Amino acid sequence: MSIFIKSVSPRNYLRGYLYAIIQVVLELKNISYEVKTGGSRQKILDHISLTIKSGLTVITGPNGSGKSTLSSIIMGLKKPTDGQIILDKEDITNLSITDRAKKGLALSFQQPVKFKGITVYDLLNVASGELISEKEAGKYLKEVGLEPARYLLREVNNKLSGGELKRIELASVLARHAKITIFDEPEAGIDLWSFTNLTKVFKKMKKDHRTVIIVSHQERILNIADRIVILENGKIKNSGTPATILPEITGGRHAA
Ligand SMILES: Nc1ncnc2c1ncn2[C@@H]1O[C@H](COP(=O)(O)OP(=O)(O)OP(=O)(O)O)[C@@H](O)[C@H]1O
Ligand SMILES: [Mg+2]
């Protein structure tokens, strides 16, 4: 299956060029998140400080360590109890999800948002923010291993399988060309045959100097990271390159 079409529109080429020369920097400063459970306060995130630059940052750690909470906080779905989020030197801690999206942040959901009558092509147009040709829309579908002729004009509804919906969501995130894209467990629901294609998508984003944050338990995704951050009990346990961090993860128990 051919996954990548090398042709890049002038607009996307320019964007790639700009990302290469302008370093997009996201800073998390002392982020804490607490919830009230049965009268007592529970600390879900405990003073997380992290500077994220272009390339692939993979956040991993045990179930319940706070990875999805952190993703939601970056995107503005949850408000931190404490701390600041700085994007390109601007404090975005109090901005809404919409305003953060306008500033170039995107979060890949488990499944695409479904509206009656909306086709895959419509969804990719909305995601890219302008009218794109069927050829360009098809390019995003091919990147996630879906045949454009079969899927472009299908309605985004529950008649699509879980894996197909997941790939359509990934394609729409690619079409967004956001400054910073966050993927929370992108491998969920993707079969092993397609998994290699998924890592190719991330490698391409890395090559294009995109800033990508991936929450993942998958060793093959950890392997291609520029930086791995391990969360445990709401704190950063360790961070570094795969060469330094992977032995720690795979030494005792397996990452995947
Ligand atoms: N509103 C809430 N009320 C109570 N507990 C919460 C709330 N939100 C999150 N938690 C708890 O916070 C912890 C972190 O949740 P989170 O979803 O961020 O974990 P995760 O690292 O993404 O885990 P997984 O690998 O299973 O996806 C969990 O123990 C969860 O039950
Ligand atoms: Mg999670």
From-to residues of CATH 3.40.50.300 in the chain? 14-95+179-256
**163: number of Cβ within 10 Å:** 15
- Checking 86-94 for CB contacts under 8 A at 24+ apart, the result is 86/25, 86/26, 86/27, 86/29, 87/24, 87/25, 87/26, 87/27, 87/179, 87/180, 88/24, 88/25, 89/25
Q: Strand locations in 96-188, DSSP E?
A: 105-108, 180-184
The pLDDT assigned to 5 comes to: 38
pLDDT of amino acid 70: 97
**Cα–Cα distance for residue pair 92/99, rounded to 1 Å:** 9
| pLDDT of amino acid 177 | 86
- Determine the distance separating the centroid of ligand 1 and the alpha carbon of 226, expressed in angstroms: 26
Give the chain's residues under pLDDT 50.
Answer: 1-7, 254-256
Q: Ligand 1 pocket by C-beta < 6 Å: which residues?
A: 35, 37, 44, 61, 63-69
What pTM was estimated for this model as a whole? 0.86
pLDDT of residue 10: 65
Task: Write out pLDDT tens, residues 191-237.
Answer: 776 778 788 889 988 888 889 999 999 999 999 999 999 999 999 99
User: According to CATH, what is the number of the domain 14-95+179-256?
Assistant: 3.40.50.300
CA of 148 to the centre of ligand 2 (A): 31
Q: What pLDDT score was predicted for residue 17?
A: 63
Report the pLDDT value the prediction gives residue 195, as an integer from 0 to 100: 79
